Amino acid sequence: MARLSTRISIRWGDDAASEPTTTLVMGVGGYFMDLRVNKADNSVDWAFAGLRETVSQEPLHCRWHHIIDSRNVFAPDEGSFTTLPNGDSLEVGSMPCPEKHGAVTPYEEVWRTLSSGSEKGWILRRDDDEARTITFLGRIGSEFFAMTQTRHGGPLTVQREALEAGDDEKTRWVFKFRSGEASLPSLAAEGLLEFSGESSWKEGGEVDIQGAIFKVCAVESPTVS
């Protein structure tokens, strides 16, 4: 199932809950892309992508394997989820806290699902042996992410685009956020509504994205009710 989520708050240990970032997470199949942008200065707080492993269903417990990571921290992190009365999800676990000099600290995060199953979703991956880079592309509905990083760490470049209606009432992709120097595939820059052949992509297949070959890691079609 394709799922787009936003974080409502985070709480470290006994600190008060807050939300210093604009956070969006794409999840398609067993893959994810996560972008967290600081509200204070519009810088990257954290951007990473990789594999999501379901450790258990009752209670739901997940482990995230970071294949690329702007903090260059590649150890898996994990958390357990419960559903709150309003339908949001509470995630609890422990991980290094940047505000506490990297000390492993218990945390609580509240997540809200923005879309689930009703929109097109996919995540692609490219391993470039010559450039020694790994690139992820992801789309759920009207949100598109692109991230690339040198293997085993280094500067990460990330871009977010959104599908919006302009003053002329025409729908087009627009740039919402970018950080880094590397070149990335773009729908907005090319004036496209979608990449060629999106409707026929199959999981495990290979597709040409603006001259580069990507593997289709996960793809979901809209759910028809």
Whether pLDDT at 174 is above 80: yes
DSSP 153-208: S--EEEEEEEEEE-TTS-EEEEEEEEESSS----STTTT-SS-TTGGG--TT-EEE
From 86, 116, 146, give the residue that closes a domain.
Answer: 116
Q: Are residues 29 and 105 in the same domain?
A: yes
Question: What's the rounded mean pLDDT across residues 32-45?
Answer: 98
Q: Are residues 109 and 9 in the same domain?
A: yes
Question: What's the rounded mean pLDDT across residues 35-51?
Answer: 98
From 70, 100, 116, give the residue that closes a domain.
Answer: 116
The tokens for 202 are 């199959």
In whole angstroms, what is the distance from residue 135 CA to residue 26 CA?
15
Sign of CA dihedral 46, 50, 55, 57: positive
The tokens for 45 are 């707080």
Question: What's the rounded mean pLDDT across residues 22-33?
Answer: 97
From 70, 88, 116, give the residue that closes a domain.
Answer: 116
pLDDT score for 223 = 58
Q: Are residues 105 and 129 in the same domain?
A: no
Q: Are residues 163 and 58 in the same domain?
A: no
In this structure, are residues 20 and 109 in contact, taking their beta carbons and an 8 Å threshold?
no
Whether pLDDT at 60 is above 90: yes
Domain tally for the chain?
Answer: 2
Q: What is the pTM of this model?
A: 0.95
Q: Are residues 189 and 95 in the same domain?
A: no
Establish if 40 belongs to a structural domain: yes
Q: Where are the beta strands (DSSP E) in 84-131?
A: 89-97, 103-116, 121-128
Residue position matching structure tokens 């990335």: 184
> What CATH number is given to the structural domain containing 154?
2.40.128.310
Phi-psi region of 191 (alpha: psi -120 to 50; beta: other; left: phi over 0): left
Establish if 56 belongs to a structural domain: yes
Q: For 123-145, how does the pLDDT look when each residue is reduced to its tens digit (9 = 90+)? A: 999 999 999 999 999 999 999 99
Q: Are residues 76 and 134 in the same domain?
A: no
Whether pLDDT at 1 is above 70: yes
In whole angstroms, what is the distance from residue 77 CA to residue 94 CA?
8
Q: Are residues 195 and 137 in the same domain?
A: yes
Q: Are residues 47 and 108 in the same domain?
A: yes
Establish if 213 belongs to a structural domain: yes
Whether pLDDT at 222 is above 80: no
> What CATH number is given to the structural domain containing 35?
2.40.128.320
Q: Are residues 130 and 111 in the same domain?
A: no
Q: Are residues 165 and 196 in the same domain?
A: yes
Q: How many C-beta atoms lie closer than 10 Å to residue 224's C-beta? A: 6
pLDDT bucket at 81, cuts 50 / 70 / 90: very high
Q: Are residues 145 and 172 in the same domain?
A: yes
Q: Are residues 109 and 128 in the same domain?
A: no
In whole angstroms, what is the distance from residue 144 CA to residue 188 CA?
10
pLDDT bucket at 115, cuts 50 / 70 / 90: confident
Establish if 225 belongs to a structural domain: no
pLDDT score for 44 = 98
Higher pLDDT, 223 or 7: 7
Higher pLDDT, 101 or 164: 164
Whether pLDDT at 180 is above 60: yes
Range of the domain at 188: 121-220
